[in-house]
Amino acid sequence: MSHNLPNMLENTIAKIREMLDVNSVIGTPITTADGVTIIPVSKVSVGFGGGGSDFVAKGHNGENPFGGGVGGGVKVAPVCFLIVKDGNVRMMPVAAPASTTADRIVEMVPDTLDKIAAFIDSRTAPKGE
């Protein structure tokens, strides 16, 4: 008995391959007018699954009906940019957005400290400056 499930899996994998190529992970380099090259780097996550079953048909001679399905998904998330300038390479990470209140507070601490320091400096500076 031949089922369509293997064909469905093969077709799903083929479609995922069509969607992804090396440019999904290492993006096309972008060169600026001043000679700086920027290369985007991403993380690719792929998932798929499928299943099926034979159904017993009452009063039916021959093959039993088959039902099945396959699904898949792709997620592309930016990780960093490689900056190439004058033969030097620098990595600029893409920060993940804060997902909790505590993470947001931690992100705000450096900026808040800078503002407090600037305020104190403006108050303690001699009047003539």
| pLDDT for 2 beyond 60 | no
Edge to edge, what strands does the sheet with 66-85 contain? 30-31, 37-54, 66-85, 88-93
Contact 43, 26 (CB under 8 A): no
**70 burial class (0-12, 13-18, 19+ CB within 10 angstroms)?**
buried
Task: Map out the domains of the chain as residue ranges.
Answer: 5-95, 97-129
Residue with tokens 């079953």: 53
Confidence check: pLDDT of 78 > 90: no
Residue 127 has pLDDT above 70, yes or no: no
**Structure tokens given for 63:** 């093959």
Q: What is the pLDDT of residues 25-63, one digit of tens each?
A: 888 899 999 999 999 999 888 887 777 777 777 766 666
pLDDT score of 123: 79
Per-residue confidence band for 125, with pLDDT thresholds at 50, 70 and 90:
confident
- The sign of the torsion formed by the CA atoms of 74, 80, 84, 90 equals negative
Residue 108 vs residue 27, higher pLDDT: 27
Per-residue pLDDT at 22 exceeds 70: no
The whole-number pLDDT of residue 83 equals 92
Residue 53, pLDDT score: 78
